[in-house]
Amino acid sequence: MLKKVLRQYFPEVNHWAWFLIFIGTLTWSLTMVKSGIVYDYGMGFWGPNGHDGVWHISLIRSLAEGSWKMPLFAGENINNYHVGFDLLLAIIHKLTLIPVHTLYFQIIPPLTALFTGIFVYKFVLYWKKSSTASWWSTFFVYFGGGWGWIITLLRDKNLGGESLFWSQQSISTLVNPPFALSLLILFAGLYFLLKGLRKKENRLLVLVTFIFGILVQIKVYAGILILIALFTSGIWRMYKRKGVSLIKVFAGALIVSILIFSPASKDTGQILVFQPFWFLDEMMATPDRFYWPRMASALANYKLTGNWIKAFFAYGLAFAIFWFGNLGSRIIKEPLFFKDLKNIKLLSFLEVFLYTVILSGVLIPTFFIQRGTPWNTIQFLYYTLIFSGILAGVGLGQFIQNSKLNTLIIYIIVVVVVLLTIPTTIGTLWYHYIPVRPPAKISNEELEALKFLSNQPEGIVLTQPFDKDLALAAVDYPPRPLYLYESTAYVSAFSGKTTYLEDEVNLEITGYDWRNRREEVERFFTDPRYDGRVELLQKKGITYVYVINNIQDLYKDLHLEPDKIFENKEITIYKI
């Protein structure tokens, strides 16, 4: 049925393209579909799903209840976060009654992967009129990888190293669902934009204005890059006397972006901090990145002594490693870039658009970090790599079609490109998503407790603070319970209740002042002399206290026995 529908609505996608799209969809989906399922040891979580996935489930369940409250920081509204993806899933959940974790892990990821591939293929085909270029662009979007696997193969004899040069690669697209959804919307928007401008259909341009305008609430990094690219390419189109249609799209998208993002944001002007080459310094100095200690020392010394000439060349080398290491086999786009640079006056607005995204996506993280979580600005580079994959596919497609080389040599070149591209995908799947046992879980006993809590009347839940030392001690014993994995929002996510303090990682990213609250909670659970316990419970309106027995046994009895409403061997819940 699905196959028939897809062929009916997307007749331009040929058999070889469908084969690639289905293989790409399956490959991407392997990073998600195993998580959120209950096994004999409990609910398993692979890769970053034990943190990021749980965060989104918490937001989705809260939004589905019609609340704009921060579900893991009681008393505050959601701020400084793009909730478009979570709001969409909340609506689907309300309409279908499908459990949120099933939507998040098993249903939406394959659909997103499928339609992303379809619109990448349609966009490039409509742009270049070449099924070969379209096929290879789609290939790089699904399977593009860096050169990290070569480093780890030489160092550790394995195919790891996906983020050795900082950026995630194509295989991890779905574990960042807002990023994945932004790609689908972005390529659909580009297809309709190109079609609208070529056929002068104003209704399509209005649609595109809305599509690009809402991007900022789906993935703010995409929204920023696309607005920059729309402005640049719009100016270019005016310079070439092609009219102001694109500038109108930019202006409309900018207005929509401001209207939908401003109410849910505060202090946005203070989020980015000017700190040039932070990623380059950390890439050289951090053991789980590229790690070249001598270069890290040289970079630090050149800055310290003000030796700017040596610093210039050292940072130039570091940037080249960062750039080409992340590009991987997509480096084959570079001849196309230099060809376009040589004939810059012949560039179309779309090529200006693509190059603007690529350039902006690498320059912003090169010079800016994000306050609180500096590494977050690397997400701008994700779009640089995706669009580099598009151009790599176009360049390879043109080479295959126009080359006068022997057919056998062309086949050899194609095979080499594929073999150099896919190790990142294979390595990431093999080491992080294929293993039978995941790194993190919610045990069956804890699932029982969370289900019980979910059926209780509304109220704020007080949970024990994440203990990093206990988590490090348990790292060699997977699957670890989520409370020994990372600071996550799992109690909020799987009980549907607002918690007083959870997921300090995302609270830091979104700019909440959570540290004083952490001190309060920590004293409540660990300090027998703390005299503010009653005040904390009453003034903050806390209704439930969620206790992990084996952790609380390390400290003291809470003396809340008369209020106990649930107990099993792992969890005790008190009602205040």
| pLDDT at residue 56 in the model | 95
Res. 540: pLDDT tops 70: yes
- Of the chain, the percentage scoring pLDDT greater than 70 comes to 97
| pLDDT at residue 541 in the model | 87
The encoded tokens of residue 409 equal: 């040599």
Torsion of CA 229, 231, 232, 235, to 10 degrees: 150
Tens of pLDDT, residues 53-73: 999 999 999 999 988 899 999
* 3-state SS assignment for residue 362: helix
pLDDT band per the 50, 70, 90 thresholds, residue 535 = confident
Q: Determine the residue type at 276.
A: P
Q: Determine the residue type at 373.
A: T
Res. 496: pLDDT tops 90: yes
C-alpha pair distances (Å), 162 with each of 8, 16, 460? 37, 28, 40
| pLDDT at residue 441 in the model | 95
Q: CA-CA distance, 49 to 103, in Å (whole number)?
A: 14
What's the DSSP call for residue 540? T
In the chain the first and final C-alpha atoms are separated, in Å, by 53
pLDDT band per the 50, 70, 90 thresholds, residue 1 = low
Q: CA-CA distance, 174 to 23, in Å (whole number)?
A: 15
C-alpha pair distances (Å), 14 with each of 126, 136, 414, 422? 14, 13, 20, 23
pLDDT band per the 50, 70, 90 thresholds, residue 263 = low
| pLDDT at residue 373 in the model | 80
Place of tokens 């980015």: 272
pTM for this entry: 0.93
Q: CA-CA distance, 496 to 460, in Å (whole number)?
A: 10
Tens of pLDDT, residues 11-44: 888 889 999 999 999 999 999 999 999 999 999 9
Res. 169: pLDDT tops 90: yes
Query: Residue 117 contacts by C-beta under 8 Å, 6 or more apart in sequence?
Result: 20, 21, 24, 25, 138, 141, 142
| pLDDT at residue 174 in the model | 96
The encoded tokens of residue 101 equal: 């974790």
| pLDDT at residue 81 in the model | 86
| pLDDT at residue 268 in the model | 55
pLDDT band per the 50, 70, 90 thresholds, residue 265 = low
Res. 145: pLDDT tops 60: yes
Q: What is the mean pLDDT of the chain?
A: 91
C-alpha pair distances (Å), 125 with each of 10, 128, 439, 457, 514? 12, 5, 41, 54, 49
| pLDDT at residue 270 in the model | 61
| pLDDT at residue 12 in the model | 84
Q: CA-CA distance, 43 to 484, in Å (whole number)?
A: 15
Res. 143: pLDDT tops 60: yes
pLDDT band per the 50, 70, 90 thresholds, residue 337 = confident
For the range 193-202, what are the long-range contacts, defined as Cβ-Cβ under 8 Å and sequence gap of 24 or more?
193/249, 194/123, 194/126, 194/127, 194/350, 195/126, 197/245, 197/246, 197/349
Tens of pLDDT, residues 396-445: 999 998 888 888 999 999 999 999 999 999 999 999 999 889 999 999 99
Strands 564-567 and 460-463: unpaired
| pLDDT at residue 47 in the model | 92
Q: CA-CA distance, 268 to 82, in Å (whole number)?
A: 12
Please give the average per-residue pLDDT across 267-293, as a whole number.
Answer: 87
pLDDT band per the 50, 70, 90 thresholds, residue 335 = confident
Tens of pLDDT, residues 377-402: 999 999 999 999 999 999 999 999 88
| pLDDT at residue 296 in the model | 93
Res. 267: pLDDT tops 70: no
Query: Residue 149 contacts by C-beta under 8 Å, 6 or more apart in sequence?
Result: 159, 160, 161, 162, 423, 424, 427
Q: CA-CA distance, 501 to 431, in Å (whole number)?
A: 32
Res. 269: pLDDT tops 60: no
Please give the average per-residue pLDDT across 96-114, as a whole number.
Answer: 96
> Residue 373: which of 275, 479, 496, 475 has the closest Cα?
275
| pLDDT at residue 477 in the model | 86
Res. 554: pLDDT tops 80: no
The encoded tokens of residue 18 equal: 């469908």
Which of 415 and 531 is assigned the larger pLDDT? 415
- Please check whether residue 382 is in contact with residue 141, taking contact to mean a CB–CB distance below 8 angstroms: no
Please give the average per-residue pLDDT across 341-362, as a whole number.
Answer: 92
Res. 498: pLDDT tops 80: yes
The encoded tokens of residue 299 equal: 């970079």
| pLDDT at residue 190 in the model | 96
| pLDDT at residue 478 in the model | 87
CA 384 from centre of chain: 14
